[in-house]
Amino acid sequence: MKALVIVPDVGRYGGTSCFLERLLVIHARQRIVTTLLIPADQYHSALASLVSRYGVELIQSPCRVVPNTVPFLTPLYDFLFSWLTVRNSCPDLIVISTGDPGRLSISFYFPIPVLYILHSIPEQRFRILPRLYLWLGSMLNNCVMAVSNAAAESISDTMGIPRSRVEIIHNSSGVAPHRNEADTPIVLTAGHLVPYKNPGIWLEVARRVLQEFPDTLFVWLGDGELLEAIREKVRGMHLERQILLPGYVPNPSTWYAKAHIYFQPSLRESHGIAVLEAMAHGLPCVVSNTGGLPESVINGETGYVCPPANPDIYVGCITKLLADADLRECMGTSGQQRVARFFSEELQEHKIMDIYRRLVNKKCDR
């Protein structure tokens, strides 16, 4: 099988980036000949390492889609970005992996089956013409994939794609073999520092927890548009030694291994790979009751699920866990078991390959 993987928004880390590496691992295991197409201005060293490691052909193409591009021009620009590679590579299957709802949906109309993987939850309802365009495209020999039930429902409601055309394959993680907890209690968060990750509430919760447990260390791994603003607030609170914002960390697994609690108060989340990573490392998770997060974290069993804008409840849950090592251990073990049962890499690979075969076999039957 030959597959063309198109990623219009390549980052150094985050859900889309983590999934790309996982997808390339699957393709290598399944001996799928893979070509990767990315925008010419998004090449970076981490991507170069991935391409080299998994023997992928990399193609870079100019892309004119930028923030505030006129909506009706986006499909045209996406066509110009991708069509030449589609024609020249002659794949059996096209895989679109994006966090931007609607990007590369022009591929639905290519004469090749498409698996369209959307890693995010649309923020607003699409207008009538885009909904009709997406509905029709999804009814051809294509499949849309969401990473949670919540995301699938939102995609159907906001984008007009029939729910029956949206497959659900959750993100995955391997269970970490061991932990190496630090002596200082660590409450860990990972992800971009952007508004929907709710860093304002995170900082307020950290400040209040530190009043009760001053020896605790709060750590947020990741960069983003709000990084410097939050650092400045931390300095203003004189909490630089208790609240760390190191920015981008290439190997966050060392932090997961020594942390005690994982905390993610997002306002919007399709599923949350970082939460799965935390559970896989045996961390109890305190998360918001939004998007696909409650599909991973079971309230009272593997952690706590809280209203996203209520710092009082977050503080109560985190302090309860900090005060009870046995509770942390019990919830962490339950989280690892849940990952192994429902979010394993083997299960994800099986489901993805099942979709691949169905799409390619439909093409052969026509």
pLDDT digits over 14-34, tens only?
A: 677 888 999 999 999 999 999
Q: What are the structure tokens assigned to 131, written together?
A: 């909904």
pLDDT band of residue 45 (cuts 50, 70, 90) is confident
Q: Do 300 and 349 share a domain, yes or no?
A: no
The predicted pLDDT at position 12 comes to 59
Q: Do 150 and 231 share a domain, yes or no?
A: no
Q: Do 131 and 71 share a domain, yes or no?
A: yes
Q: Do 282 and 357 share a domain, yes or no?
A: no
pLDDT above 90 for 329: yes
Q: Has residue 294 been placed in a domain?
A: yes
Q: Do 312 and 227 share a domain, yes or no?
A: yes
Q: Do 251 and 324 share a domain, yes or no?
A: yes
Q: Do 111 and 222 share a domain, yes or no?
A: no
Q: Count of domains in the chain?
A: 2
Minimal CA–CA distance to 337: which of 298, 287, 279, 294?
Answer: 279
Q: Has residue 220 been placed in a domain?
A: yes
153 or 252: which carries more pLDDT confidence? 153
Q: Has residue 177 been placed in a domain?
A: no
Q: Do 134 and 200 share a domain, yes or no?
A: no
Q: Has residue 226 been placed in a domain?
A: yes
Q: Do 12 and 103 share a domain, yes or no?
A: yes
The predicted pLDDT at position 159 comes to 96
For residue 313, give its domain range: 186-342
Q: Do 272 and 356 share a domain, yes or no?
A: no
Q: Has residue 178 been placed in a domain?
A: no
Q: Has residue 181 been placed in a domain?
A: no
Q: In this prediction, what percent of the chain has a pLDDT beyond 70? A: 98
pLDDT above 90 for 6: yes
260 or 179: which carries more pLDDT confidence? 260
CATH number of the structural domain spanning residue 243: 3.40.50.2000
Q: What is the mean pLDDT of residues 40-67?
A: 87
pLDDT band of residue 70 (cuts 50, 70, 90) is confident
pLDDT above 80 for 119: yes
Q: Do 305 and 332 share a domain, yes or no?
A: yes
Q: Has residue 179 been placed in a domain?
A: no
> For 190-209, how does the pLDDT look when each residue is reduced to its tens digit (9 = 90+)?
999 999 999 999 999 999 99
Q: Do 337 and 353 share a domain, yes or no?
A: no
